[in-house]
Amino acid sequence: MSGPPYPRYPAGTGPGQNAIGQFVIGSSPIGTIPSFDYWTTILSQYANSPILTQLITNFFQYIDPTANLDSFYDLIWNVDSAQGYGLDIWGRIVGVIRQVNVPGTLTYFGFNEAGAGAFTGFNQAPFYSGVPATNVFNLSDAAFRTLIFAKALANISDGSTKSINQLLINLFPGRGNAYVVDGNNMTMQYFFKFELSPVELVIVEQSGVLPKPVGVSATVVVNA
């Protein structure tokens, strides 16, 4: 007697291909782990026993870790798709935090009666919701992921102008010209030819993501 036909998998995609010692670089899949075929553990003489096969099927469903391993890879291990707590872990690894302290007052949606500089137009700022209890804000997952990648690049940067300019391109893609200038007198300046939001300015000035050589003073020049 024999059990149901075993599933056939394309080369490099069957059960166990993600196991230690069986992973083939460039061929084995990453992320989605094929479920273990528990039918390979059932002897043929028991394959037609509905009670035994149902017990084994139920037991496998109870202990199958595939979904948990997939979630771990997608939400924590893979920085490209990590979310929430997973990104917080990556932040600790590279040396940045999600919270930023934004000094000063924020601009809200309003009209001329609010006074110059205290308001802005439609689709530019939120409605006023009262005095904020704190100036500490959490970066969104998308913004924090960009900061993590930038800090990871800064960690391996050689501090050259070329390396820092590449970091600026990665940190502010499609925003406009951003570059660093060496003053040749132990000073350097980061130039941004576009406006930075208060949160972005804090990231630039406080997060430590922009590298500079030891003993060199650095300043930020915005929209100059």
What is the extent of the structural domain holding 123? 99-138
Based on the fold, state whether residues 156 and 209 are members of the same structural domain. Answer: yes
**Per-residue pLDDT tens digits for 74-104:** 899 998 889 999 999 999 999 988 887 766 5
Within a domain: residue 146?
A: yes
| pTM of the model as a whole | 0.60
- The answer to whether position 88 is within a domain reads no
For residues 122 and 201, membership in a common domain is answered with no
Q: Chain-wide mean pLDDT for the chain?
A: 76
Q: Are residues 106 and 159 in the same domain?
A: no
Q: Give the closest residue to 180 by CA, choosing from 198, 202, 157.
A: 157
Tell me what pLDDT residue 86 has: 93
Domain assignment of residue 91, yes or no? no
Judge if 7 and 68 occupy the same domain.
Answer: yes
Tokens of 5: 């036909």
Mean pLDDT over 144-148 rounds to 87
pLDDT at residue number 93: 93
62 and 14 belong to one structural domain? yes
pLDDT in tens, 5-41: 444 444 444 444 455 456 566 565 555 666 678 888 8
Task: Clarify whether residues 49 and 126 are in a common domain.
Answer: no
Identify which has the larger pLDDT, 121 or 159.
Answer: 159
Instruction: Assess whether 71 and 133 both reside in one domain.
Output: no
Q: How many domains does the chain have?
A: 3
Residue that wins the pLDDT comparison between 144 and 101:
144
The Cα 122–Cα 50 span in angstroms is: 66
Average pLDDT over residues 202-214: 79
Q: Which amino acid belongs to residue 5?
A: P
77-102 burial string, b = 16+ CB within 10 Å, else e?
A: bebeebeeebbbebbeebebebebeb
